[in-house]
């Protein structure tokens, strides 16, 4: 027998390798299994989705749930569900993109300043960013609620963007400052020697080189904004997609399968973004969050 | 313009923004916590520490505190230990490691609120698959509505949130492991150290600063968890999953008691800031990435 001719250390090593691969399979199940029935149901008719025992694969696959949402239709059994989901997805994109743009403009300049210049209060500025990073959003919601209510900005896209800057801007500044710190000062100095102004040096020299940092910050901010639930729940009337998904309640008043399709549509953009920019995101996460 | 002035001008927009969206709302919430705030535009009246007395004297606060501590303990343990195991596994030179690392990012990129929807779906006795799987392998004798049971509701709201957070922990651990110089591990191998000895003597000390960062972040996210509980149980059944943030939501938006809600918010905020400040001090100048 082959195994007799193998020495014990070799056998041990093979056993360990087999265990590691088994662990890898378990890990994949942990990640993917929760998605399975959701994605599965999103391609089913409402009647098939409640079959007992559940079908592991749709027997009569249908795109009806998706087409109802994407066409903004009234889904069978649910009033205006499709239209609400489509509108909310659009708002989520709008809020996310506006939040990213505001973050890059405000955070880019501030991070560059904190990386390169010392001025009266520069240490205080940096510590105030760190402090702002530590203030949990839920702790200051009351002030936002009263202020937006008095300004008539409850359920406003722009109101939500302003609120989202409170927890995203510190992340942007920390990620970008970290990135700028890694770029040699000689770059700025060479540009200045060549006759560029300090602003030109930032825009024409540093900005293009720091692109990976900007991509990382933009991704992190978009992900935070896309998934934010508490403020969207309390400061809007289901404006963006998270409170719309959470608001699907009393499941039997509409059909489950539309919720499944809506949830799939809501999870695809952030997952795709994270996968496409994986390298940037992971680096930004490690350096901006952990440092 | 001098360098100092230029630096200040660059940083100022972001600093002013943070004062407006973090500083002032923070101070305003602190003020509300000492006031009775009417629903209309009428001026608020100072009531001293009545709001704090009201929150702390309420027996639902004590119950909620206990549930929050249980929730946090389970969440931190699961999210941290699973994260560490995933990171150690994906640090091994296995085939398919690249795909596995892409998989790792998916639960983190999935918004917590959507993780809640998915797990609710997964464990639902009507449309989900978990009951079918457990039934088939003989773990349960009948399909169970898990979220109707006090203990299972707590377990599954923890699991859903930890599913997301374990990936976050793993990404940070992996970033730390990747900065560990290979020569050190190889040297330990040459000296005949077993895998466990290498972990205890080399790997663990290396990632300890990162472990502290991850645990602190997880503790704060645990204490402040709202999303999965809201979407899965709304705090129920009974008060079985009424975490402090759920209590805060009820004070502010169900009972419209801005004063009492703010008092609770201030306490949560102070705890979060204190915990992370202590961690920052403990960490000292240790760089969790040691790069």
Blockwise average pLDDT, block size 10, chain B, 291 residues: 88 96 96 88 85 93 96 98 96 91 96 95 85 85 87 96 97 93 86 86 91 93 96 91 95 93 96 88 70 49
- For the whole model, what pTM was predicted? 0.93
A72 has a chain B CB within 8 A of its CB: no
Domain ranges of chain A: 2-71, 84-289
Checking if the pLDDT of A217 tops 90, the result is: yes
Contact A190, A223 (CB under 8 A): no
B199 has a chain A CB within 8 A of its CB: no
Provide the pLDDT for residue A251.
44
Q: CB-side exposure of A150: number of CA atoms within 13 Å?
A: 11
Provide the pLDDT for residue A4.
59
In this structure, the dihedral spanned by the alpha carbons of residues A130, A186, A216 and A275, taken in order and rounded to 10 degrees, is: -150
A250 has a chain B CB within 8 A of its CB: no
**Cross-chain residue pair B288–A291, CB shorter than 8 Å:** yes
ipTM for this model: 0.93
Angle at A6 between CA A5 and CA A8, to 5 degrees: 130
- What's the mean pLDDT in A114-135? 91
Residues in contact with A205: Cβ distance below 8 Å, sequence separation at least 6, in sequence order: A187, A188, A190, A191, A196
Provide the pLDDT for residue A252.
44
Checking if the pLDDT of A209 tops 70, the result is: yes
Provide the pLDDT for residue B45.
86
User: Who has greater pLDDT, B143 or A98?
Assistant: A98
Checking if the pLDDT of A77 tops 60, the result is: no
Domain A84-289 sits in CATH at: 1.10.3720.10
Which chain B residues are closer than 8 Å to A33 by Cβ? 122, 129
Which chain A residues are closer than 8 Å to B4 by Cβ? 117-120
Contact A191, A200 (CB under 8 A): yes
Q: What is the Cα Rg of chain B in Å?
A: 23
Tell me the range of A74-78, A244-248, A252-256 where mean pLDDT is highest: A244-248
A114 has a chain B CB within 8 A of its CB: yes
Query: What is the pLDDT confidence band of residue A13, given thresholds at 50, 70 and 90?
Result: confident
Which chain B residues are closer than 8 Å to A226 by Cβ? 111
Q: Which of B249, B237, B239, B233 is nearest to B159 (CA)?
A: B233
Q: Which of A190, A147, A39 is nearest to B20 (CA)?
A: A147
Structure tokens at A46: 């409402």
Residues B161-172: b if buried by 16+ CB within 10 A, e if exposed: bbbbbbbbbbbb
A139 has a chain B CB within 8 A of its CB: yes
Which chain A residues are closer than 8 Å to B15 by Cβ? 110, 125, 128
Which chain B residues are closer than 8 Å to A227 by Cβ? 110-114
Distance CA B32, CA B34 (A): 5
Query: What is the pLDDT confidence band of residue A70, given thresholds at 50, 70 and 90?
Result: confident
Provide the pLDDT for residue A154.
94
Alpha-helical (H) ranges within A43-140 are: 46-49, 64-70, 81-116, 122-134
Give B 152-171 residues with CB within 8 A of chain A.
163, 167-168, 171
Indicate which of A140, A169, A282 best probes the interface with B, i.e. most B CBs within 10 Å of its own CB: A140
* Percent of all residues in chain A with a pLDDT value above 90, rounded to a whole number: 59
Checking if the pLDDT of A79 tops 60, the result is: no
**Cross-chain residue pair B175–A242, CB shorter than 8 Å:** no
Provide the pLDDT for residue A1.
47
**Cross-chain residue pair A106–B105, CB shorter than 8 Å:** no
Burial of B136 (0-12, 13-18, 19+ CB in 10 A): exposed
Checking if the pLDDT of A99 tops 90, the result is: yes
Q: pLDDT by residue (tens digit) across A248-288?
A: 764 444 567 888 999 999 999 999 999 999 999 998 888 77
Provide the pLDDT for residue B26.
96
Give B 215-234 residues with CB within 8 A of chain A.
217, 220, 224, 226-227, 230-231
Which chain A residues are closer than 8 Å to B230 by Cβ? 229, 233, 246
Q: What chain A residue is nearest to B209 in terms of C-alpha separation?
A: A290
**Cross-chain residue pair A146–B11, CB shorter than 8 Å:** no
Distance CA A282, CA B92 (A): 18
Give the closest-approach CA distance of A61 to chain B in angstroms: 16
Residues in chain A: 291
Provide the pLDDT for residue B188.
87
What average pLDDT does the structure give for chain A?
89
């Amino acid at each position: 027998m082959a195994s007799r001719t193998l020495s014990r250390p070799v056998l041990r090593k093979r056993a360990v390798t087999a265990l590691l691969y088994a662990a890898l399979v378990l890990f994949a199940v942990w990640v993917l299994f929760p998605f399975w029935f959701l994605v599965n149901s999103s391609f089913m008719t409402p009647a098939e989705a409640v079959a007992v025992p559940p079908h592991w694969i749709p027997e009569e696959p249908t795109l009806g749930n998706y087409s109802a949402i994407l066409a903004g239709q009234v889904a069978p059994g649910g009033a205006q569900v499709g239209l609400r989901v489509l509108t909310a997805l659009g708002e989520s994109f709008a809020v996310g993109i506006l939040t990213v743009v505001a973050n890059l403009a405000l955070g880019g300049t501030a991070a560059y300043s904190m990386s390169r210049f010392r001025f009266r209060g520069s240490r205080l500025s940096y510590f105030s960013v760190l402090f702002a990073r530590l203030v949990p959003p839920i702790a200051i919601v009351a002030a936002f609620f009263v202020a937006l209510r008095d300004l008539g900005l409850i359920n406003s896209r722009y109101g939500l963007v302003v609120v989202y800057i409170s927890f995203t801007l510190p992340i942007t500044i920390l990620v970008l400052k970290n990135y700028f710190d890694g770029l040699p000062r000689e770059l700025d100095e060479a540009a200045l020697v060549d006759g560029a102004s300090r602003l030109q040096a930032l825009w024409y020299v540093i900005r293009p080189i720091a692109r990976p940092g900007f991509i990382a910050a933009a991704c992190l901010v978009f992900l935070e904004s896309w998934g934010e639930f508490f403020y969207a729940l309390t400061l809007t009337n289901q404006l963006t997609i998270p409170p719309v998904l959470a608001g699907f309640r009393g499941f039997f008043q509409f059909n489950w399968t539309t919720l499944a399709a809506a949830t799939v549509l809501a999870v695809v953009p952030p997952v795709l973004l994270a996968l496409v920019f994986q390298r940037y995101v992971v680096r930004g996460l490690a350096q901006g969050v952990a440092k | 313009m001098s360098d100092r002035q230029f630096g200040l001008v660059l940083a100022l927009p972001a600093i002013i923004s943070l004062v407006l969206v973090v500083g002032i709302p923070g101070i305003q919430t602190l003020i509300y916590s000492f006031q009775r705030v009417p629903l209309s535009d009428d001026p608020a009246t100072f009531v001293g520490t009545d709001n704090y007395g009201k929150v702390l004297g309420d027996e639902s606060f004590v119950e909620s505190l206990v549930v929050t501590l249980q929730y946090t303990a389970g969440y931190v343990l699961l999210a941290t230990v699973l994260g560490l195991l995933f990171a150690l596994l994906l640090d091994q030179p296995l085939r398919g490691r690249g795909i596995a690392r892409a998989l790792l990012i998916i639960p983190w990129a999935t918004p917590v609120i959507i993780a809640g929807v998915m797990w609710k779906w997964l464990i639902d006795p009507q449309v989900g698959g978990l009951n079918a799987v457990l039934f088939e392998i003989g773990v349960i004798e009948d399909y169970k509505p898990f979220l109707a049971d006090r203990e299972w509701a707590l377990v599954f709201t923890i699991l859903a949130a930890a599913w997301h957070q374990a990936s976050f922990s793993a990404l940070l651990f992996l970033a730390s492991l990747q900065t560990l110089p290979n020569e050190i591990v190889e040297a330990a191998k040459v000296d005949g150290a077993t895998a466990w000895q290498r972990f205890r003597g080399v790997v663990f000390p290396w990632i300890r600063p990162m472990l502290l960062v991850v645990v602190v972040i997880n503790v704060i996210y645990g204490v402040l968890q709202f999303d999965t509980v809201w979407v899965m149980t709304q705090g129920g059944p009974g008060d079985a999953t009424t975490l402090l943030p759920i209590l805060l939501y009820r004070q502010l938006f169900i009972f419209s008691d801005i004063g009492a809600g703010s008092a609770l918010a201030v306490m949560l905020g102070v705890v979060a800031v204190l915990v992370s400040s202590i961690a920052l001090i403990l960490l000292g100048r240790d760089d969790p990435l040691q790069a």
